[in-house]
A and B are shown apart, each in its own frame.
Chain A
């Protein structure tokens, strides 16, 4: 799996967009970018994934650079409930289910 690098922590004001970066400079052509988050004491929550095109769903948008060496998860209007640790994972899809999280980014949304 390609290694990912995320900032350890970020703050965001409630109602503003939260932009969480992830570097994955060694990504290979068949690896997807997945984002999960974990709110304290809860199970991880799948957010979004993509290969090369930008993706959007009801939770977030995923912007992947043209060279695919980095990506940004965007929460368009952050709320206090978005305070969580966000994990960026790069994996070949549909090989194994053995998910592994790195340290992630602890996002704190402030009122």
Chain B
């Protein structure tokens, strides 16, 4: 079956702009989690959505937001971009909420200049 897909794969934005990233989970999976990965901080949890509701949230500022649609697809938005937001943004899907058997997409590499 098809894996997790993320679009776009690469993005270059300037400070102050906003960006929307998209994630399509594995068919049948209802939970989508978002992570930020940087060389310095490693993998950091942003939030999890299940059945269109945010279930858990990490320690990120309110500039980071997300949503999930009825077909389980999810988007995350980052407003007022800062240089420190440059990272690999990963989406992971799982069957249920809180499920640690997660399947990751290839990521979106965001560069903020």
What is A's interface to B at a CB cutoff of 8 Å? 32, 34, 42-46, 49, 89, 91, 93-101
A91 to B101, CA, bound (A): 11
- Nearest-neighbour CB distance to chain B for A111, whole angstroms, equals 26
Residue of A nearest to B107 (CB): A43
A99 touching B45 by the CB < 8 A rule?
yes
A34 touching B100 by the CB < 8 A rule?
yes
B contact residues, range: 20 to 34
Partner of A97, one of B45, B105, B106: B45
- Nearest-neighbour CB distance to chain B for A97, whole angstroms, equals 4
Render B45-68 as a binary contact track against A, CB cut-off 8 A, 1 for contact. 100100000011010000000000
A44 touching B90 by the CB < 8 A rule?
yes
A99 touching B101 by the CB < 8 A rule?
no
B102 touching A46 by the CB < 8 A rule?
yes
B101 touching A49 by the CB < 8 A rule?
yes
Residues in B with CB closer than 8 Å to A44 are 43, 90, 92, 104
13 A-B pairs besides A43-B4, A44-B43, A100-B42 with CB distance below 8 A are A43-B92, A46-B103, A93-B98, A94-B99, A95-B98, A96-B48, A97-B31, A97-B55, A97-B98, A98-B33, A99-B35, A100-B44, A101-B42
Q: Is B22 close to A, CB under 8 A?
A: no
Residues in B with CB closer than 8 Å to A93 are 98-100
B48 touching A98 by the CB < 8 A rule?
yes
A99 touching B92 by the CB < 8 A rule?
yes
